[in-house]
Amino acid sequence: MDLDVLNMFVIAGGTLAIPILAFVASFLLWPSALIRIYYWYWRRALGMQVRYANYDDYQFCYSYRGRPGYRPSILMLHGFSAHKDMWLSIVKFLPKNLHLVCVDMPGHEGTTRSALDDYSISGQAKRIHQFVECIKLNRRPFHLVGTSMGGNVAGVYAAQYPEDICSLTLICPAGLPSTTDSKFIKQLRELQESERIDRIPLIPSTPEEMADMLKLCSYVRFKVPQQILQGLVDVRIPHNDFYRKLFLEIADEKSRHSLHENMSKIKAPTQVIWGRQDQVLDVSGASVLASAIPDCHMYILENCGHSVVVERPRKTANLILEFLALLHSTDNNKKQA
């Protein structure tokens, strides 16, 4: 074989080997870096852009796609210890001409974390209102979506700032009393009795605890490699002290039933989506909402746990779109009448 041709194959092989070796090294040695790259890639692939907004000395980090149009913008509020990128699985199934905004909740990811901040549910709702005013999202009423802790904040926001929103989607929201204790609530009581409240199941610090948390939150059993579990833990460990403080804040009497206390003030058309097999927040909470909110559309997803956004993203996206289409059709009929 000609020496130049041989050199060409060697160079080509070396060029291909570098990214492969980099991937393998990242997977084995720095799985947390691989997870960050994963979210960065999917944001770019889905056309989501990251921006920052400032309210005095407070900074909000958010991602968005599209521009405000004739259809309502959609603001999404994530759950406890998550971040704006948790919505990417849903964004994938939403039309690109919709204006979508996903914000990091107070103290999470790129949004300011301050020891002096009020992390109660009403305090978080106030912060989200500041964010909305910063980016002028409330020039027209928008559709608000929240899941778990974010669902609690979304419901309180709808009650406190009714002029801002046109409709509301609550996905297995916190902040409600339930007639049946979930597995998570039972675990918390056991930990309190044994005085081991520092071992909160939603705040893992080892790969084994991370695997247990995923089993608690999901009905679908995801097979997650040990390296990825380690990466997920590595990403969270620097924030665990904050998560513990936040959990105690939202579990306090001031916030524990915030959504329930504000239900009568919610006037916007409301959609409730819940996983039948939710082990974190019992599905009986859906009936509590449906009986208290006049214009409430309830959807219970079979074979689905607390992580509705991850387990059933296509179904959830379709339900939101169908709900918005129904409201649009109803508005048109009222105008024609």
Whole-number Å distance between alpha carbons of 189 and 264: 30
Look up 85 and say whether it is catalytic. Answer: no
Q: Considering only CA atoms, which of 254, 245, 251 is closest in space to residue 116? A: 245
Q: Considering only CA atoms, which of 67, 87, 65, 91 is closest in space to residue 77? A: 87
Other beta carbons within 10 angstroms of residue 160's beta carbon come to 15
What the block records as the tokens of 174 is 């916190």
Whole-number Å distance between alpha carbons of 2 and 4: 6
Which of 104, 164, 278, 282 is labelled catalytic? 278
Residue 61, phi then psi, degrees to nearest 5: -110, 135
Whole-number Å distance between alpha carbons of 257 and 268: 20
Look up 278 and say whether it is catalytic. Answer: yes
Q: How far, rounded to the nearest angstrom, does the alpha carbon of residue 331 sit from its chain's CA centroid?
A: 29
Look up 198 and say whether it is catalytic. Answer: no
Which of 99, 260, 297, 306 is labelled catalytic? 306
Q: Considering only CA atoms, which of 90, 91, 84 is closest in space to residue 110? A: 84
Whole-number Å distance between alpha carbons of 261 and 239: 30
Q: Considering only CA atoms, which of 73, 207, 233 is closest in space to residue 145? A: 73
Which of 148, 167, 182, 218 is labelled catalytic? 148
Other beta carbons within 10 angstroms of residue 197's beta carbon come to 14
- Per the CB < 8 A criterion, the answer to whether 281 and 182 are in contact is yes
The helix (run of H) or strand (run of E) holding residue 129 is: helix 121-134
- Active-site positions read 148, 278, 306
